Amino acid sequence: MTTVEDALSRPDPAAARRASRVAVHTFRPRRSWPALIVGALVLGVAALAAVEVASALAGAPMRTSVTSAAGEHAATARWSDPVVQTASAVAAATGLVLIAVALVPGRSRFTALRTADPELVVGLSRSGLKRTLAAAAQEVGGVRAARVTVGRRRVRVRVRTDLREAPELRGEVSAAVGRRLAELEPVSAFKVTASVRHTKA
């Protein structure tokens, strides 16, 4: 029979889902370098345009080689010109690339771990996750060494063994690494694959 204490101690599913979203968002890598480069370019163009407008309003237009050439070309250019169409296509493609870079998340250096509290965010570095899973694989009997590769949704475990015949070793390694992942409770699910290499005598 379920008691009141048991019911109150159960984690709220909505809070758990919110905590997972917060953890994923916290450890999502920021696209700082593309934003910095684009911001610097836009700032330079805007500053040059502001100086040009201010000097023209003051009665002494600043005629630099760049602004003069751009102004003369803009005065004679037509939308049907191949140069204008090419420049417009390049500008549109550049904008689409920048939008894609901003929207598509990069690969984080941390793996978000599941918590039931949205105010508590826990993450494990990729190197720390590799070491933890490699240690779990090395606890399996017959494993001499283990190497772990962590991808976005996959964990690959390569182990070496001195055993000549060990058909069940691959499954045991996968199960051990899977149990360690279940203990860590990462927000993203990982598929574990293992391969066994026999060490030559």
For residues 126-131, give the mean pLDDT. 90
Residue 15: alpha-carbon gap to chain centroid: 24
pLDDT at 188: 83
Confidence label for 31 from pLDDT (cuts 50, 70 and 90): low
SS3 125: strand
Confidence label for 125 from pLDDT (cuts 50, 70 and 90): confident
Q: Which domains does the chain have, with CATH numbers?
A: 32-103 (no CATH), 110-198 (3.30.300.30)
7 compared with 123, residue with greater pLDDT: 123
To the nearest whole number, what is the mean pLDDT of the chain? 77
pLDDT at 29: 66
pLDDT at 51: 75
9 compared with 92, residue with greater pLDDT: 92
Q: Please say whether the dihedral angle defined by the alpha carbons of residues 62, 68, 71 and 72, taken in this order, is positive or negative.
A: positive
Q: Flag whether pLDDT at 91 surpasses 90.
A: no
Q: In a 10 Å sphere around its CB, with 0-12 CB exposed, 13-18 middle and 19+ buried, how is residue 98 labelled?
A: middle
Q: Tell me how far apart the alpha carbons of residues 155 and 68 are, in angstroms, rounded to a whole number.
A: 58
Is the pTM higher than 0.85? The answer reads: no
Per DSSP, 1 falls in state -
Maximum average pLDDT range among 33-42, 99-108, 169-178: 169-178
Q: Tell me how far apart the alpha carbons of residues 106 and 94 are, in angstroms, rounded to a whole number.
A: 19
